């Protein structure tokens, strides 16, 4: 558990506490930096909903994206277990929806594929709720993201605009995803080292070492 200066939302009930020291900016927000980075999530979610409101599967995907942003903001603000679930479970469900959207038109039996993804996602959800082991979420989410990337990279495209999107995904999207995921894992497993470095460099540069915020 990170150092806490006493906050409005105490006591903490979440099973995860990221490496950012709690309530250092304001007593009303436990992890101000991690919370504030979700503003981009909210913007992109609303933008996607507006742009793709006539395409049901993409609309649902962006609603999921928006839900993740809201849930993550509330989780990092309060460090409450209920808000943690509102952050983490929509991540799994949104990634599953994106996997369905990526493959539903190319599989031989779309209904069976949809059922399989739904059953698997429900299984992950129940398993995680029962055991409350964060690694279950990390591994499941990572596998789903990799599957979505592979599905889109292998998809055959004839339109030049689609080819440009795939090219950007390959040369920009994948490195960014890998960098973000690496930051996420380093923040979780090397927190003590990061704290020493932050104290050494001081503010404002220490903010750049809030690696979960980069994710």
Question: In the structure encoding, which two tokens stand for residue 81, read together?
Answer: 């277990």
135 assigned to a ligand binding site: no
98, 155 contact by CB (below 8 A) = no
Instruction: Determine if residue 31 is labeled as part of a ligand binding site.
Output: yes
Q: Does the annotation place 54 within a ligand binding site?
A: no
Tell me the two tokens of residue 39: 């503003």
| Residue 9 assigned to a binding site | no
Cα torsion angle, 77, 194, 204, 44, sign: negative
Whose CA is closest to 198, among 180, 213, 178, 179?
213
Q: Report the distance separating Cα 56 and Cα 46, nearest Å.
A: 15
CA-wise closest residue to 17 among 191, 179, 197: 191
What is the spatial distance between Cα 138 and Cα 81, in angstroms, rounded to a whole number? Answer: 17
Known binding residue 189? Answer is no
162 in a known ligand binding site: no
5 annotated binding-site participant = no
What secondary structure letter does DSSP report for 8?
T
Q: Tell me the binding residues for Ca(2+).
A: 17-18, 20, 22, 31
Query: Which residues participate in the annotated binding site for Zn(2+)?
Result: 76, 212
Residue list, annotated binding site: 17-18, 20, 22, 31, 76, 212
């Amino acid at each position: 558990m990170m150092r806490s200066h006493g906050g409005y939302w105490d006591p903490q009930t979440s099973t995860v506490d990221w490496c950012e020291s709690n309530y250092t900016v304001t007593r009303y927000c436990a992890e101000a930096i991690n919370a504030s980075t979700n503003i981009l999530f909210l913007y992109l979610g609303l933008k996607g909903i507006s742009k793709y409101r006539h395409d049901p599967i993409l609309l649902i995907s962006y609603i999921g994206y928006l839900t993740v942003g809201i849930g993550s903001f509330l989780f990092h603000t309060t460090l409450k277990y209920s808000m943690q679930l509102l952050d983490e479970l929509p991540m799994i469900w949104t990634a599953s929806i994106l996997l369905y959207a990526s493959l539903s038109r190319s599989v031989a039996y779309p209904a069976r594929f949809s059922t399989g993804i739904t059953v698997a996602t429900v299984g992950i959800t129940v398993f995680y709720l029962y055991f409350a082991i964060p690694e279950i979420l990390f591994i499941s989410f990572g596998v789903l993201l990799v599957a979505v990337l592979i599905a889109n990279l292998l998809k055959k495209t004839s339109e030049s605009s689609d080819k440009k999107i795939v090219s950007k995904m390959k040369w920009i999207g994948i490195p960014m995803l890998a960098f973000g995921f690496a930051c996420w894992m380093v923040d979780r497993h090397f927190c003590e080292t990061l704290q020493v470095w932050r104290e050494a460099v001081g503010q404002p540069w220490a903010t750049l070492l809030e690696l979960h915020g980069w994710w």
